Amino acid sequence: MEELDDLLKSLSAQVDSEAVLDLSKQLIAVPSHTPAGEEEAAGVLERFFRQAGLTTQRQRVEDVGVNIIATVPGDSEETALLLNGHLDTVPPSSSMSHPPFDAVIHDNLLWGRGSCDMKGGLAAMACALAVIRAANLPLKRSILFAAVASEEQGNRGTAALIEKGLRARWAVVGEPTGLDLIIAHKGVDRYRFHIEGRAAHESMPERGTNAIVAAAYMISALDRNLSPRVRQQTHPLLGQATYNIGTIQGGISRNTVPDRCTFQISKRWLPGDSPAAIRSELEDAIRDVQTEAHVSIVREPEFDRISHPPLELTPDHPLTRTLAATVHRIIGRMPALSGMPGFTDAALLQQAGIPSVVFGPGDLKLAHSDGECIPVSELLQATRVYAAFAVIAANTP
């Protein structure tokens, strides 16, 4: 144990704070809310790894961008650990606290779009690999880093990794957690209700079937009937399941009885639930609505293509215990084991058979916000934890 502590202290001491900040700034400076911007950010990482003496692989993700994969090889071809993060961000708003791509450091915070979600985490992971490479430590198994495309638009980059046969013993997704461990989060499922009525002149509404009115009855029934159901669906770390009706469109003119109306509904679902049960729940909720309109419930195609299940890893899983112990060794406190409301790529990886947790620098509440920033101290601490944990994972029997 003392020998391991000495090794990890030595590794932590080799983390170059200027390198971590410089790479973070370079990534933030790239407007990667478009596919072209994602490719530019991928190029930043490729150049960084080239200078660090690590080879990279560029994996094309159809229609959306690229994944960048870097490896620190071990004695065997087995991958002990995947460090995963996404290249894309949401677009900047017009009222951000600092210019979104200037990567300003103010009050010991690094500001800018993507600083928190999640270019800071990406930089910390990449720099951790560079430190391990430079230290030339013996590794029984390989360590893999993947910067993925289009996480904000359907998680398509990590889905592509999995489709290409990615395997690893464990995975850590570097979304912002304040350096605590997220071992559970909700899944997402989305559906469209298509209501078909019959058009008529508004002066003769009896000749038509008003699709908007029919939709209103259905929305009322969903609100009334789903609420008691989701109150029964709870999780100790995640609280209650939720539904949201997010969009509605209908009608072609104000003087025509509308023959079409569509609305979207989303469920944030818990472990133990399923898409089949969700569809049944929706159908049951509107079963007693009386209308001449025709109703069809269609799952959003992206959720048919890529399932978005919940994440759940037990507190006593070896990944949870080993990462928590590493955080304690490096930063001097035991991390909280928590749940989070948002969705991450960790759930896709775990569904593919790779036990996964979410751990990274930054405050999730600042993600996508006008005041997006990340503490410089957390960036450096995260880099040290990633490096130490990767070495432990690579050498754990």
pLDDT in tens, 259-307: 999 999 999 999 999 999 999 999 999 999 999 999 999 999 999 899 9
Nearest CA-CA partner of 323 in 360, 296, 288: 360
Contact 268/188 with Cβ under 8 angstroms? yes
Please give the Cα distance from 300 to 266 (Å, whole number). 10
Please give the Cα distance from 42 to 68 (Å, whole number). 6
For the residues 235-256, what does the mean pLDDT come to? 96
Nearest CA-CA partner of 83 in 323, 386, 394, 392: 386
Give start-end residues of each CATH 3.30.70.360 domain in the chain.
187-305
Confidence of residue 38 (pLDDT cuts 50, 70, 90): very high
CATH number for the domain formed by residue range(s) 2-185+310-395:
3.40.630.10
Please give the Cα distance from 348 to 361 (Å, whole number). 21
- Structure confidence by residue, pLDDT tens digits, 361-384: 999 999 999 999 999 999 999 999
For the residues 343-364, what does the mean pLDDT come to? 97
Confidence of residue 321 (pLDDT cuts 50, 70, 90): very high
Domain 187-305, classified CATH 3.30.70.360, yes or no: yes
For the residues 197-226, what does the mean pLDDT come to? 96
Single pTM value for the model:
0.93
State the average pLDDT for the chain.
Answer: 95
Task: State percent of the chain over pLDDT 70.
Answer: 99
Q: List C-alpha distances in Å: 34 to 14, 26, 157, 248.
A: 35, 17, 14, 26
For the residues 245-252, what does the mean pLDDT come to? 96
Which residues are CB-contacts of 170 (< 8 A; sequence separation ≥ 6)? Answer: 80, 81, 82, 319, 354, 355, 356, 393
Give start-end residues of each CATH 3.40.630.10 domain in the chain.
2-185+310-395
In one letter, which amino acid is 258?
P
Confidence of residue 77 (pLDDT cuts 50, 70, 90): confident
Output the six-digit token pair for 126: 């990449």
Contact 204/239 with Cβ under 8 angstroms? no
What's the pLDDT score for residue 1? 61
- Structure confidence by residue, pLDDT tens digits, 126-174: 999 999 999 988 899 999 999 999 999 889 999 999 999 999 999 999 9
Q: Which of 9-13, 41-45, 102-106, 127-131 has the lowest mean pLDDT?
A: 9-13
